[in-house]
Structure 1
Amino acid sequence: MNRIMWIAAALAAGAALATGGYWAGTRHTAQPATAPVSKTERKVLYWHDPMVPGTRFDKPGKSPFMDMQLVPVYADEAQAAGVAIDPRQRQNLGIRYATVRRAAVADALKLVGTTQFDERLAAVVQSRVTGYVERLEADAPLQRVRRGAPVATLFVPDWLAPQEEYLALRRAGDDALAAAARERMRALSIPDALVEQAVRTGKPQSRLVLTAPASGVVTELAVRAGAQVAPGMTLAKIAGTGKLWLLAEVPEALLGTVRPGMAVTATAGTATAGDPARRYTGKVAEILPGVSTATRTAQARLELDNADGTLVPGQLMRVQVGAAAPAARLVVPAEAVIDSGKRSVVLVVGDGDRISPVAVTTGRQFGDDIEIVAGLSEGQKVVASGQFLIDSEANLKSALNRLGPTAPPALEGTGVVEDVSAEALMLSHGPIAALQWPAMTMEFAKPAPGAFADVKPGQRVTFTFHQEKSGYVLDSVTPVAGAAK
């Protein structure tokens, strides 16, 4: 019995120890554990679709372009982007930096044009009778004439009989018939001044002097001495010179900045240092419809004041349109902008002299500078010039490939062939680290319609590819031996 009680006491003591240990363990583990916090938490700058890296998003989600999730771009990755240039290589390549700055520039267009006569000031010298040209006072084209000066003298034989009849009736004292004869002479376009002269001299007048209706230059001369003229026939055309038209060539891209009514200032293109350029003022009359397919320019018709007659048609003029007060604009050297036709790119110099391309929106060019509307901020450094920048963007890319210490990583992946067509392969591939792509299914173009003829749907393959403007093009496709879909 004592033994049984001893065993029971021992079991009770063990249970008590176990229970105490449980509660002690419970109290110990119930205290919250403090997890280590990373002191260098990565900052996300933005999210993007690796297939369309130029479009940025401010929050994660599904790409609107591909069936995949947007990929974050971290601050430390952005800072490491670009190509570092050794100072010695920079000197050898002739690379020069410039600072993005604000400059006060006048919002004025500088154009080139030629002068011509203002057709609205043109006047004509016409005959209202049948006769013959007895003498020409203005006998050569481009001859200057003044208003009221004689241009031609006509002999009109049909005027003789009516005037003799009128003079005879006056001498006979028949006032009624004389008045009727006077009306017939007016109907025959015999001027009253000639009739009065016939009355004074007693002899009929048969010569009519045609005068210039306006001052200007004879641009057309349709008759010569001795020629017969008829009513309504134009003998000469006179162009006024008080104002001239100036046809200025406006680039197609700047048509929206030129409007009728804008003030213009023009100077002759032949001015020299010893002969200061004379300034002529005027305004934009209208923009002529149509763009030249050869020069991609339209013509703006400008009106210039030429009261002193110093301008002549055909002169080459330099024109400034819409000269406004200077305004502060963000500018960089024009040679720093690489224009591919589809976009404009500037190479920005970041920390550690690392160069990265940045797409920008450009505005007007002011001399050697060009306005930056979007893409850059004041104070940034950009690549302003280098011998490889002068030729083309292709030369630039080939030179930048020599600046980096290593070649860019190869574009390669592994996937399963989903579909085969004459132009492309549809591949379900795994992640591609070089482009930060996750696993996805997409189409890759073939380099030629007959390429990879042995590749069939369902095969697992390894492949290499490169990027072109039209998309991603396969370089090689190698089936994985013994692999199944």
Structure 2
Amino acid sequence: MSSSKNIFIISVCGGVLLGALLGVYIIAPQTTSAISSTAGDSPPEPLYWVAPMDPDFRRAAPGKSPMGMDLLPVYADSSANKNSPGTVTIAADVINNLGVRTAQARYGEFTQTITAPATIQFNEDQLQRVQPRVEGWVQKLYAHAEGDTVTAGEPLYTLYSPALVTAQEQFLMALERNNQELSMSAEQRLLNLEIAPSIINEIKRTRTALHSITLLAPRSGVLSELNIREGDYVAPGKAIATIATLDSVWAIADIIGGQSSSIAIGDQASLSIDGIPNRTWSAAVEYIYPTLSEVNRSQRLRLKIDNDTRILKPNMFARVNLTQQANTKSVIIPKEAVIRSSEQNRVVLALGNGRFKAVAVKTGKFNDREAEIIHGIEANDEVVVSAQFLLDSESSKDSDFIRMNHSNAPSAKVTP
């Protein structure tokens, strides 16, 4: 009985040991194969590492950002790029509530428009000074005030001058002697003293010297200056009047700031007057003054404006719009899409599917509607043109959008 019991116990133990050995033989290879298979699927390698608070700070290896934070990896696959630092995701209804609008960046030639105040002035190229060539006294003045209109060939003032009387008498003596050479010389002297040919012919006909000579206006226009009155004594070298014309006028524009560096002679411009609606005048930059204004340190430009209708008057205030066409093409976006700061300029990109990201850009020129982008985004990128300040704030902080959401909307998510 005892021996049979021992035999049974030995048999059971042998079976258990044999089963354990078979289990090791069968199961162990399967486990080893699973482990080796798992080890073969290595994780993807990051393209680069970025700072959590500044996606533009990139490094080829892990490390610390300038703020002491651990750098985050950016992967090549689309799912990793979706979770790049600074990308925020918002629900569609929240986008609608925020009034987010976007526009597409385009590639083309940037047109810059510079607006500057201007003042209308007389065209100084057409000013003519009136100066007597002999001394004498003004007996009669036919134009009485600045702004009076004068016509070429009509009387301007009457002068009594002993020197003119003497010149006439010498001319009459030459005529009496019938000396042709002397007569021509005396007549030329009267012409040089601005005696009109009609008056010289009258002296020839009457053979009498005139005690008072009427001097005529040399050209048509308006008197911009009048420095004499009846009874005044005048002499050579003293300007008694200035005659200006209104056929054309000058517009003197003041360019404030650093915009003047890109302006060149020949640039096209348009001029408008606030008091004259629906009317503009075309002109080109004729002259750039070599010195700045002493009052506001502005750069002064001169434009010549045709004024056949005489509607433009000196001392009018005007507005000049200078248009400059770029020689090269660049990326152009709406001006309101650019978020300006003292440190850098940024633009919020719409990545699709409710995802947005703020990126730093290098800007060029600005006009009243558009901005030139030199670096940072590409053509056909979608940029945010409204609510971009809020999106930029959240993208920069990598925070969530819960505070912008209503109670029934799903929580907005910021991916780290």
Same-fold call, TM cutoff 0.5: yes
- Could you tell me which of 254, 268, 271 is aligned with 1:266? 271
**Equivalent of 1:41 in 16, 19, 44:** 44
Q: Rate the CA distance shift 1:400–1:80 in 2: closer, same or farther, 3 A.
A: closer
Amino acid at match of 2:322: V
Q: Aligned equivalents of 1:98 and 1:140: distance in 2?
A: 62
* 1:107 maps to which of 103, 108, 111: 111
List alignment gaps of at least 5 residues for structure 1.
1-32, 408-485
CA shift for structure 1 position 201: 1.1
- SS of residue in 2 equivalent to 1:36: helix
Match of 1:158 in 2: 163
Corresponding position of 1:30: none
| C-alpha distance after superposition, 1:87-118 (max 9, x if no partner) | 565555x3413132328787252524332222
Corresponding residue for residue 420 of structure 1: none
Q: Secondary structure at the match of 2:203?
A: helix
**Residue 284 of structure 1: CA displacement?**
0.9
Map of 1:247 onto structure 2: 252
Answer yes or no: is the 8 Å Cα contact 1:362–1:372 preserved in 2: yes
Between structures 1 and 2, the one with greater helix share: 2
Q: Does the Cα contact within 8 Å between 1:115 and 1:247 map onto a contact in 2?
A: yes
- Residues 315 and 55 of structure 1, relative CA distance in 2, 3 Å threshold: farther
Question: Matches of residues 324-363 of structure 1 in structure 2 within 5 Å?
Answer: 330-350=331-351, 353-363=354-364
- The aligned amino acid for 1:404 is D
Whether 1:200 aligns to 2:205 is yes
Higher relative contact order, structure no. (Cα contacts within 8 Å, ≥ 6 residues apart)? 2
CA distance in 2, matches of 1:192, 1:381: 77
CA distance in structure 2 between the aligned counterparts of 1:180 and 1:405, rounded to whole angstroms? 101
**1:218 counterpart = 2:223:** yes
- What residue number does 2:400 align with? 404
1:373-452 equivalences under 5 Å are 373-386=374-387, 389=389, 397=393, 404=400
* Aligned equivalent of 1:98: 102
**TM-fit CA distance, 1:126:** 0.5
Q: Could you tell which deviates more after superposition, 366-375 or 33-42?
A: 33-42
Query: SS state of the match for residue 336, structure 2?
Result: helix
2: distance between equivalents of 1:326 and 1:170? 72
Change (3 A) 1:302 1:335: same
Change (3 A) 1:286 1:176: closer
The aligned amino acid for 2:83 is: Q
State the 1:124 CA deviation: 0.3
Specify the alignment match of 1:25 in structure 2: none
Change (3 A) 1:300 1:203: same
Structure 2 residue identity aligned to 1:109: T
Q: Are the aligned partners of 1:96 and 1:384 in contact in 2 as well (CA < 8 Å)?
A: yes
Higher mean alpha-carbon deviation, 317-326 vs 296-305, is at 317-326
Q: 1:342 to 1:145 in 2, by over 3 A?
A: farther
Counterparts of residues 272-291 of structure 1 (less than 5 Å): 272=277, 276-277=278-279, 279-289=280-290
Find the aligned partners of 1:356 and 1:306 in 2 and give their Cα distance. Answer: 54
Partner of 1:74: 74
Cα distance, 1:74–1:189 mapped onto 2, change above 3 Å: same
The code of the aligned residue for 1:232 comes to: G
Distance 1:288 1:56 in 2: 48
Residue-pair matches, total: 360
Gapped regions of structure 2 (runs ≥ 5): 1-35, 404-416
- Distance (whole Å) between structure 2 residues aligned to residue 333 and residue 120 of structure 1: 43
Report the TM-score when normalising by structure 2.
0.68
Structure 2: how far apart are the matches of 1:163 and 1:295?
56
**Mapped partners of 2:139, 2:294: distance in 1:** 50
Note the C-alpha offset of 1:203. 1.9
More moved, 299-308 vs 320-329: 320-329
Residue pair 2:131, 2:239 contacting (<8 A) in 1 also: yes
Residue 142 of structure 1 and its aligned partner are, at CA, apart by: 2.0
Matched with 1:321 is: 322
1:228 shift after superposition:
0.9
Q: CA deviation at 1:35?
A: 8.1
Contact 1:108 1:320 in 2 (8 A): no
Cα distance in 1, alignment partners of residues 344 and 149 from structure 2: 54
Cα shift at 1:221: 0.8
**Aligned-pair RMSD on alpha carbons?**
4.6
The answer for the alignment partner of 1:447 in structure 2 is none
Q: Is the 8 A contact 1:286 1:301 kept in 2?
A: yes
Report how far residue 261 of structure 1 moved.
Answer: 1.7
Shift of 1:339: 1.1
Q: 1:289 to 1:98 in 2, by over 3 A?
A: farther
